[in-house]
A and B are shown apart, each in its own frame.
Chain A
Amino acid sequence: MPLDLWETTLTGPLARLIEELHKLPGIGPKTAQRLAYHLVRSPEARALAEAIVEAQERLTYCSQCQNLTDKDPCHLCADPHRDRSIICVVEEPLDALAIERSGRYRGLYHVLHGVISPMDGIGPQDLKVAELLDRLRQGEVREVIMATNPTLEGEATAMYLARLLRPLGVKVTRPARGLPMGADIEYADDVTLARALEGRQEL
């Protein structure tokens, strides 16, 4: 529904709420209207509003891994049991969360907050690359895992960073690429299949 129609048919605060919800990623005009009507009738709406405000006010970037945190350094960077000689570079905070869920990684993270996307004009200067270099210059790190997404932009970012880190003498690795659990081989693309065969392991 166009905004001017909202203004004539809906009262001010409700129209504003719909307009603000509509700005969120993945929320269309109909969903925005449904959510708005649900929220104004919901007893949890105040808690939600307070949670949003609190998160906005208290969250900051961890000075080490650049992840979002309410304490600096974040709980992962402050944990004395984590392996400080290995850093896993990810595009977004959610990627770090996914790797944490696997339970197999005990090193630290570095969040780039984006990916190099030449066609959109997003270059390394727009990401947290300088902060990564600063961490590596301290000399404690032996290995950097480039866990950017296996997309064209993710590969370009990993290759660019690998080239940038080469003079620093750290080992740069990339997670293996292969077939996900539950997938059908007949639907796999050529590049993934080729990489999966290259990385095959003895049973």
Chain B
Amino acid sequence: MPSPRLLKTEAIVLRHRPLGEADRLLTFLTPHHGKVEAKAKGVRRTKSRMGGHLQPLTRVLVQLALGRTRYVVAGCQTLEAFPSLQADLDRLGLAIYLCELADRFLPQGAEAQGPYLLLLETLRRLEKGHHPQIWARRFEVCLLRLSGFGPELDRCLACGQPLPAGGGAFSPVAGGVLCPLCAHSAPPISGAALHALRLLQRGTDRQVAGLRLPPTVTQEVEAHLRSYIAHLLEGEAASLRFLDKLRHSPLISAERW
């Protein structure tokens, strides 16, 4: 389908990069046109009327006009900023990571209402600040499902048998769980972590909001998802390096993990 010449849509700004003297190249996530790249002219100047509206992690109403090679931002208006999220380094780092995942998993130009609403809802949860790690895992699992990479969590991917309650193994290469008999060298997954992953994938928002996990299970869920996502992206997300730095630097006392 050819790109419309004029596009007026709401969007979340996923990322920005400097372009030329004072311009920026922006990546938007829109509900009906998926990921859209557009040039915003002069937004790095102090007196730009649009610069403040086009920061990443902002929900905007944006007008895009098709130029010779790509869209150019013709107008924009902030619909929702997330000030509390942007003022907290840990949650900000997490939100940047989620935007990177959306940027890397979603194609340009394809309808993306599900991922759009998922990202918006997750940013709103992070803004409120309750259990950001749980909502980040929920985002990962649901984004994987919506982009066609949802991990199999019920039956062994080798023999097809239902997985025992005690768990089995999680294989990033196979794309889900393996029973203890077929596990071979795949890393083990506990019954509790498997239960948590299923709830994150299929539970209602209310069920996820009530989810309380022991630190060992949280770490296990995170590690399995991380290795699966790294396998799909053929390398770890770049922003994970910064998140790791925030968590593990001996100089920094993490407050919210």
Binding site for B on A (CB under 8 A): 26, 116, 118-121, 123-125, 151-152, 155-156, 159-160, 163-164, 167, 180, 182-184, 187-192, 194
Contacts and interface: CB of A to CB of B under 8 A. Distances in A.
B46 interface: yes
Interface stretch (B48-56, B159-167, B209-217): B48-56
Nearest to B251: A164
B46 A121 contact: no
Central interface residue in A156, A164, A184, by most chain B CB within 10 Å:
A156
Contacts of A152: 16, 55-57, 86, 92, 96
Given A26-B21, A120-B238, A160-B246, 13 more contacts: A118-B96, A119-B99, A119-B100, A119-B103, A121-B241, A123-B241, A124-B245, A151-B55, A155-B86, A156-B92, A156-B96, A188-B52, A191-B52
B47 interface: yes
Secondary structure at chain A's binding surface: helix, strand, loop or mixed?
helix
Contacts of A121: 238-239, 241
Contacts of A159: 87, 89, 92
Contacts of A192: 52
A177 B190 CA distance: 49
A182 B99 CA distance: 34
B148 interface: no
30 contacts: A118-B100, A118-B239, A118-B241, A118-B243, A119-B99, A119-B100, A119-B239, A120-B238, A121-B238, A121-B239, A121-B241, A123-B241, A123-B245, A124-B245, A151-B16, A152-B57, A152-B86, A156-B89, A156-B92, A156-B93, A159-B87, A163-B89, A164-B252, A180-B46, A189-B53, A189-B81, A190-B81, A191-B78, A191-B83, A191-B86
Interface in B21-57: 21, 46-47, 49, 51-53, 55-57
Contact of B49 (A156, A163, A187): A187
Contact of B242 (A116, A167, A190): A116
A93 B246 CA distance: 27
Contacts of A123: 241-242, 245
Interface residues of B, number: 36
B14 to A, nearest CB: 9
A164 B249 CA distance: 10
Contacts of B47: 180, 182-183
Contacts of B71: none
A184 B50 CA distance: 12
B252 A163 contact: yes
A160 B103 CA distance: 24
A155 to B, nearest CB: 6
B242 A118 contact: yes
A116 B93 CA distance: 11
Interface in B76-108: 78, 81, 83, 86-87, 89, 92-93, 96-97, 99-100, 103
